[in-house]
Amino acid sequence: MITGSLNTLQRTPLPAPLDRIMVEVVKSVEQWLNAPLGKTEIDGLTLFCLVSEELTEPAADRRGEFHQQYLDIQLLLRGEEWIGVGPHAYVNTGADHPHPDLWFVNDEQTSYLALQPGDFAIFWPGELHRPLCTPNQPAQVKKLVVKVHRDLLAGL
């Protein structure tokens, strides 16, 4: 996992392919804040963006998730969100698999990231995370998730 803020991106050491995606695709909160909801293809199924507005929930009502084929770059555009991270060794036996490359598990997260607009978290394929948690009352958030196929990460 890598976490940071677009405000300090120049001080965040990223592997070259991720640095290029952050500079050329993610760019800024302003670029995506008024973007329409839904999917924007950048490079077919290899690199695409999902803009969503969703309601956060108490962590107990959310489940941990992971992906095998895609890395997630999650950027908060509006609102406040906590994302559960870890444990780093979890059991995926019996994980629910409702959509391609999305698995849910019941393992509890060991830490939480508190995101404000402009903050991002990058999750590698196989890395457990629990997005859309609330630190207080459920609230509406808008976020960008950039999906990067593992083929673009070859050699990292």
| pLDDT tens per residue across span 29-46 | 999 999 999 999 999 889
If phi > 0 it is left, if psi is from -120 to 50 it is alpha, else beta; for residue 18 that is: alpha
Q: What is the pLDDT of residues 136-151, one digit of tens each?
A: 899 999 999 999 999 9
Buried b (16+ CB within 10 A) or exposed e, 48-68: bbebeeeebeebeebbbbbbe
pLDDT at 17 over 80: yes
Give yes or no for a contact between 122 and 18, defined as CB atoms under 8 angstroms apart: yes
Q: Tokens 């950027």 map to which residue?
A: 75
Mean pLDDT of 102-120: 90
What's residue 91's pLDDT? 66
- Whole-model pTM: value is 0.92
Q: Quickly list DSSP for the chain.
A: -EEEEGGGGGGS---HHHHHHIIIII--HHHHHTSPSEEEEEETTTEEEEEEEEE-B-GGGS-EEE-SSEEEEEEEEES-EEEEE--SS---TT-EEEETTEEEE-PPPSEEEEE-TTEEEEE-TT--EEEEE-SSS--EEEEEEEEEEGGGGTT-
pLDDT (tens digit per residue) in 50-79: 999 999 999 999 999 999 999 999 999 999
Q: What is the pLDDT of residue 156?
A: 59
Q: pLDDT category, 103, cuts 50, 70, 90?
A: confident
